Amino acid sequence: MDRLANTVRPYAWGSTTAIPGLLGVEPTGEPQAEMWMGAHPGAPSRVTRPTADGERALSDLIASDPEAELGAATVGKFGPRLPFLLKILAAGSPLSLQVHPNLAQAKEGYDDEERRGVPVDAPHRNYKDANHKPELICALTLFDGLCGFRAPAEAARLLAGLDVDSVKPYVDLLQARPEEAALREVLTAVLSGDPVETAATVTEVAAAAERLGGEYAPYAGIAHHYPGDPGVLAAMLLNYVQLRPGEALFLGAGVPHAYLDGMGVEIMANSDNVLRCGLTPKHVDVPELLRVVRFEATDPGVLRPEVSTSGEEVYETPIDEFRLSRYVLAPGGAVRDITADTPQILLCVAGTPRAGDIELAPGHSVFVPAGDKAELSGTGTVFRATVVA
């Protein structure tokens, strides 16, 4: 079992106080958006073992003996790399509105860009790898987000309530077409319209949302951060959801979504494939986006953990690259044996529990190689990330 030293990413949308508050350190005044735990090449965690020469990247440790660190079953199913990335995410302003491809789309898109010689670090490149990127976010605080399309009739009602003439064509389309066609045509129109006209419409919408408040307040807030951005209109096509601590959302392929505000534990398949729909200065590839988006109304599907007889609270998802659960350890409780033949990352978010002989505090994490003895004791809340192998 190895204590992890992790990198905090300073993306502009990050909260300046949430992650420092969890870690019990003074804020730097700069945004601290994500703390990464895992072996992603962009910012691998670091470990120190008695046999190692100082700190070593977890990715290098795994590469040196994949079966010893990950287990034969994990390597056989996912290859010689940790198939998930665990994060603490702290949003102080909205992230980009985005969607992720399924596995077949990712492979096709990646191969196409490789054939065309698009540099992997090019700003207009869509596919950084050939993997899909399902993800799960579990709230640590109240957490606001957008997830999946509203029913067209509900989106039409919301837009009509603004009483803005320039959005009435969208209202008409939403009311006059079958569900898939309505959502596709409106999103296409929003993202492909004349930039000057669209910016003017967004300005009118923002003013109306500010005036109306209530259910329109989140969109006024989004427009404040992204004035004139067509993503403000696209956001109104989506379900707004607020998670309470302990509740979660699963984001599968093709589902448009955005995180708006709050802190949570996020886990995802190890991929960088993101297609953006707006709320960003970055590249938006509208044709490719429209190929990947699932144009169907969905319920956000708020997840609550299922509690096993061992006290493990599991967030069930339909994919195997990750499995997220948590233990809420009460004073005087029994020691929990969580030894597994798969790799694990344990993350403390409250209290002072112990993982084996390692004392934890909020924000501390450890990596447990497959097969290593792992026990939880003490008091606090610990998230457990592993795979289904």
Does position 375 have pLDDT exceeding 70, yes or no?
Answer: yes
Count of all residues that appear for the chain in the document = 389
| Residues 6+ away with beta carbon under 8 Å from 369 | 1, 2, 68, 69, 70, 343
Separation CA 66–CA 64 (nearest Å): 6
Separation CA 234–CA 97 (nearest Å): 8
| Percent of the chain topping pLDDT 70 | 99
Domains, in order of start, for the chain: 143-292 (no CATH), 321-386 (2.60.120.10)
Query: Are 19 and 26 spatial neighbours (Cβ–Cβ below 8 Å)?
Result: no
Does position 48 have pLDDT exceeding 90, yes or no?
Answer: no
Which residue in 46, 81, 276, 354 is the catalytic one?
276
**H-state helical runs in 134-273:** 152-160, 168-176, 179-192, 195-212, 217-225, 231-235
Does position 237 have pLDDT exceeding 80, yes or no?
Answer: yes
User: Whole-model pTM?
Assistant: 0.94
Query: Are 239 and 146 spatial neighbours (Cβ–Cβ below 8 Å)?
Result: yes
Mean pLDDT of 11-23: 97
Mean pLDDT value across the chain: 95
| Percent of the chain topping pLDDT 90 | 92
Does position 354 have pLDDT exceeding 80, yes or no?
Answer: yes
3-class DSSP assignment, residue 208: helix
Q: 3-state SS of the chain: helix, strand, coil percent to 5? A: 30, 30, 45
3-class DSSP assignment, residue 150: coil
Mean pLDDT of 56-78: 96
Locus of tokens 């302990």: 246
Does position 333 have pLDDT exceeding 90, yes or no?
Answer: no
Q: What band does 332 get if pLDDT is binned at 50, 70 and 90? A: confident
Position with higher pLDDT, 49 vs 373: 373
Q: What is the DSSP letter of 117?
A: T
pLDDT tens, residue by residue, 117-143 = 999 889 899 999 999 999 999 999 999
pLDDT of residue 52: 61
Hey, which residues does 199 pair with through a beta bridge? Answer: none
Query: Are 32 and 90 spatial neighbours (Cβ–Cβ below 8 Å)?
Result: yes
Query: Are 146 and 235 spatial neighbours (Cβ–Cβ below 8 Å)?
Result: yes
Lowest-pLDDT range, 149-158, 183-192, 272-281, 321-330? 272-281
Query: Are 317 and 366 spatial neighbours (Cβ–Cβ below 8 Å)?
Result: no
Q: How far is residue 292 from each of residues 108, 191, 265, measured CA to CA in Å?
A: 11, 15, 26
Does position 146 have pLDDT exceeding 90, yes or no?
Answer: yes
Query: Are 360 and 354 spatial neighbours (Cβ–Cβ below 8 Å)?
Result: yes
pLDDT tens, residue by residue, 241-256 = 999 999 999 999 999 9
Report CA dihedral (121, 125, 126, 130) to the nearest 10 degrees: -60
Does position 309 have pLDDT exceeding 90, yes or no?
Answer: no
Query: Is 276 noted as a catalytic residue in this protein?
Result: yes
Q: Using CB atoms within 10 A of its CB, is residue 121 exposed (0-12), middle (13-18) or buried (19+)?
A: exposed
Does position 103 have pLDDT exceeding 90, yes or no?
Answer: yes
Query: Are 186 and 236 spatial neighbours (Cβ–Cβ below 8 Å)?
Result: no
Q: What band does 49 get if pLDDT is binned at 50, 70 and 90? A: confident
Does position 324 have pLDDT exceeding 80, yes or no?
Answer: yes
Position with higher pLDDT, 262 vs 389: 262
Evaluated on CA atoms 106, 195, 278, 152, the torsion sign reads negative
